[in-house]
Amino acid sequence: MTDRKIRVLVGKPGLDGHDRGAKTVASVLRDHGMEVIYTGLHQTPEMIAEVAQQEDVDVVGLSILSGAHMALFPRVKDELAKRGMGEVLLVGGGIIPGDDMEKLEKLGYARLFGPGTTTESIAEYIKTEVAKRWAAEGAAS
What does each C-alpha distance from 28 to 42, 44, 46, 120, 140 come to in angstroms?
22, 24, 26, 7, 31
Helix and strand element counts for the chain (H, E): 5, 5
CA dist., res. 132 & res. 7, Å (int): 15
Angle at 103 between CA 102 and CA 106, to 5 degrees: 85
pLDDT at 141: 60
Per residue in 70-104, pLDDT (tens digit) is 999 999 999 999 999 999 999 999 999 999 999 99
Per residue in 34-43, pLDDT (tens digit) is 999 999 999 9
What are the structural domain ranges in the chain? 7-140
User: 60: part of which helix (H) or strand (E)?
Assistant: strand 59-64
Q: How many other β-carbons are positioned within 10 Å of the β-carbon of residue 61? A: 25
Read off the pTM: 0.95
7-140 has which fold? Rossmann fold (3.40.50)
